[in-house]
């Protein structure tokens, strides 16, 4: 069993061209012996966003703090806020954007451990 406090997990700048004001934490992952999933936490600062991207696997999201939007390939924006869950399907092009002028957007992103 592993129990880990998020505030003790190092924040790093993810390697994602086009990311702005984004940090990543990896509280549980393959190095911990997780057999299937890695849990990543992304913090998107005021004015920040991830790049448009897609991947060959689904991922599950949970918004811990803040609010923002998920932007689809056509530019459509779906609002997200604290307490929301989301599913991004394989190969679905998307981007996360913080729409707050004062608060970070913090979300969990669970993916297969091979893609952490």
- Residue 96 makes CB contacts below 8 A (sequence gap 6+) with 42, 44, 49, 50, 68, 69, 70, 71, 80, 105, 107
Flag whether 71 is in a domain.
yes
Residue-range definition of the domain harbouring residue 104:
35-44+56-116
Flag whether 22 is in a domain.
no
pLDDT > 90? residue 116: no
Flag whether 100 is in a domain.
yes
Average pLDDT over residues 11-35: 94
Q: Tell which residue, 78, 88, 96, has the closest CA to residue 112.
A: 88
Q: Tell which residue, 70, 71, 73, 52, has the closest CA to residue 61.
A: 70
Flag whether 106 is in a domain.
yes
Flag whether 30 is in a domain.
no
Flag whether 65 is in a domain.
yes
Flag whether 62 is in a domain.
yes
CATH of the domain at 88: 2.60.120.10
Can you give the pLDDT at residue 99?
A: 98
Task: State how many domains the chain has.
Answer: 1
Q: What is the pLDDT of residues 75-97, one digit of tens each?
A: 999 999 999 999 999 999 999 99
pTM of the model: 0.94
pLDDT > 90? residue 36: yes
Flag whether 4 is in a domain.
no
């Amino acid at each position: 069993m592993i129990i880990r406090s998020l505030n003790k997990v190092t924040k790093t700048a993810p390697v994602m061209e086009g990311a702005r004001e984004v940090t990543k934490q990896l509280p549980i992952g393959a190095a911990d012996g997780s057999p299937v999933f890695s849990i990543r936490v992304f913090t998107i600062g005021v004015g920040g966003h991830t790049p448009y991207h897609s991947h060959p696997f689904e991922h599950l999201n949970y918004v811990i703090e803040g609010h923002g939007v998920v932007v689809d390939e056509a530019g459509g924006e779906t609002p997200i806020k604290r307490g929301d869950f989301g599913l991004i399907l394989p190969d679905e092009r998307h981007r996360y954007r913080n729409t707050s002028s004062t608060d970070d957007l913090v979300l969990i992103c669970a993916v297969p451990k091979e893609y952490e």
